[in-house]
Structure 1
Amino acid sequence: MSIAYLGHESLRQLKNMRAMIFTLAVPLVMLFAFGGTFGGEGQVDAVTHLPWIVVTTIQVAAYGGMMSALSQAFQIVTERSIGWNRQLRITPLSGTGYLVSKLIAALALALFSILVIVGVSVALYRPDLAVGSWVLAGLAIWLGVVPFALLGILIGQFAKPEFAQPLFMAVFMGMAVLGGLWIPLQVFPAWVADVAKAVPSYWLNRVGQLGALQSGDAVTPTIVLVAWTLALGALIVWRYRRDAARG
């Protein structure tokens, strides 16, 4: 039953048109705006040495993937408010199965967002990048959104319905800014860049660039993202067990 519920939950997320539009509209607008500005022939980023349109696409894909993964919070808040999660506890579905289904659903939505953004960029701007590099960049971003999916689940476990939206926006906006997904970190004071290296969004952008380059140090991003994943996973399990004990 856990496997059946997992599949049903993932498909339900992909059929949720409101969620799909919500998680795609803003990233695509950003892609059109920034792509039109930085998508010219021969424009290369001085730091990564990648074409600017590739750098922009990676940033927007990371932004869209992060938004999709975090948006799972709203689904969990809704289910908690109507008592659906308590109802599931009297079924054969295990607590692990329930939490994994939320993670898989978040990753499915994030993958769809990343594929659409990269596909639109390639179709419109035809960036000079090999197919293999695009695949590695997209895969790196997708794997990198795991801690954001867990963060969305954690927010959903804690937030009350009336506070879910502002909490989501505060976390999302903060992560987007510190990750350099909106504004290059070079325009901020040096200490902001130092703080940014402690948050997963900074490294989400970086692993996408490393995938596109097919070279570079992937150890540090991996350590930071895995550390966030383990810490958030532990908090989720603790919170779920506490809720289950109360129920």
Structure 2
Amino acid sequence: MSMFINETKTEVIRVFRNPYFIFGSLVMPIVFYIIFTKVVNQGLEDAGLWNKHFLMSIATFSIMGSAILTLGLRMIQERNEGWTTYLRVTPLPSAVHFIAKMIGQSTVHALTILMIFLSGVIINGVSMTAVEWILCGVWILLGSIPFLALGVLVGTMQKVDLASSVSNILYILLAITGGMWMPMEVLPKAIQAIGTWLPAYHYGSGAWAIIRGDIPGYKNILILLVYLLLFMVLSTYRRRKQDVVKW
């Protein structure tokens, strides 16, 4: 247990020392939030609802990106630097190492969610009940697990440059098709049809439901669970295949 706790602490510290994380997961989403609520979309009939809606969109956008990019690229760097090889000769089980990474990343996500929520209150005076804030935060945190699994899958790639390109493309495509930059209703019908079967839309949709006084639908939960299982199976298969080739 002490090894697990120390490993988790190490992962949290390493993430916060990464300038890319600070810019990509904190600064950039808040800048987007200011632009889309203070500059682009003005004169809306229900500005208060839009400010809450886009706050949830930008929070899910930030956490999704952090899960896919930060975790996966760090895993590749550690493997290429030989760190994972060193871990094989320590008492730390590899499963504990991966779980500590995911929990450490989730801890960072919780702090990121808090910072983005505070920015919504400070910048636009977003007001919700304590229960709504908590439910949104819990949903965004738990809903990010499939994207952490996708980050682990990205981490099975061999080269950082290739993984960075692929993960960034996936991140942007998921954000667009998930309605995180603009409501799904204004997107082309083809994108809407595709997006409703992808995890990003159902991730954001759960938070959007909560701010409207509803709860995430069973379809939102089911599709996220299916993608979680899919990414876990694929990443496990790729890691085992790589171990066989290595030995």
Alpha-carbon distance between aligned partners in 1 of 2:44 and 2:193, rounded to the nearest angstrom: 31
Q: Is 1:195 the equivalent of 2:197?
A: no
Alpha-carbon distance between aligned partners in 1 of 2:56 and 2:137, rounded to the nearest angstrom: 8
TM-score calculated relative to the size of structure 2: 0.89
The offset of 1:174, in angstroms, is 0.6
Q: Which residue of 1 aligns with 2:208?
A: 209
Q: Which residue of 1 aligns with 2:57?
A: 59
Indicate if the aligned counterparts of 2:210 and 2:216 stay in contact, CA closer than 8 A.
no
Q: Which residue of 2 aligns with 1:83?
A: 82
Alpha-carbon distance between aligned partners in 1 of 2:218 and 2:73, rounded to the nearest angstrom: 33
Range with greater deviation from structure 2 (112-121 or 30-39): 30-39
Indicate if the aligned counterparts of 1:68 and 1:109 stay in contact, CA closer than 8 A.
no
Q: Is 1:9 the equivalent of 2:6?
A: no
Q: Which residue of 2 aligns with 1:70?
A: 68
Q: Which amino acid aligns with 2:90?
A: T
Distance change (3 Å), C-alpha of 1:123 and 1:41: farther
Q: Which amino acid aligns with 1:68?
A: S
Q: Which residue of 1 aligns with 2:122?
A: 123
Range with greater deviation from structure 2 (82-91 or 235-244): 235-244
Q: Which residue of 2 aligns with 1:226?
A: 225
Q: Is 1:236 the equivalent of 2:217?
A: no
> For 1:82-231, what aligned pairs fall within 5 Å after superposition?
82-216=81-215, 218-231=217-230
Structure 2: which 5+ runs fail to align? none
Root-mean-square deviation (Å): 2.2
The offset of 1:186, in angstroms, is 2.4
Could you report, residue by residue, the CA deviation over 1:122-174 in whole angstroms, capped at 9, with x for unpaired residues? Answer: 12211232222122112111111111111111111124122122112111011
Using the aligned pairs only, state the percent identity: 23
Q: Secondary structure at the match of 2:156?
A: helix
Indicate if the aligned counterparts of 2:149 and 2:232 stay in contact, CA closer than 8 A.
yes
Indicate if the aligned counterparts of 1:77 and 1:157 stay in contact, CA closer than 8 A.
yes
Q: Which amino acid aligns with 1:108?
A: T
Q: Which amino acid aligns with 1:192?
A: I
Indicate if the aligned counterparts of 2:175 and 2:200 stay in contact, CA closer than 8 A.
yes
Q: Which amino acid aligns with 1:91?
A: T
Range with greater deviation from structure 2 (157-166 or 196-205): 157-166
Could you report, residue by residue, the CA deviation over 1:34-53 in whole angstroms, capped at 9, with x for unpaired residues? Answer: 121478798428xxxx7110
Alpha-carbon distance between aligned partners in 2 of 1:216 and 1:241, rounded to the nearest angstrom: 39
Q: Which amino acid aligns with 1:98?
A: H
Distance change (3 Å), C-alpha of 1:237 and 1:61: same
**Matched pairs, number:** 243
Indicate if the aligned counterparts of 1:102 and 1:153 stay in contact, CA closer than 8 A.
no
TM-score calculated relative to the size of structure 1: 0.89
Structure 1: which 5+ runs fail to align? none
Could you report, residue by residue, the CA deviation over 1:42-101 in whole angstroms, capped at 9, with x for unpaired residues? Answer: 8428xxxx7110001011111111111112112112112111112212211212112212
Alpha-carbon distance between aligned partners in 2 of 1:169 and 1:5, rounded to the nearest angstrom: 27
Indicate if the aligned counterparts of 1:39 and 1:53 stay in contact, CA closer than 8 A.
no
Indicate if the aligned counterparts of 2:149 and 2:231 stay in contact, CA closer than 8 A.
yes
Alpha-carbon distance between aligned partners in 2 of 1:74 and 1:237, rounded to the nearest angstrom: 17
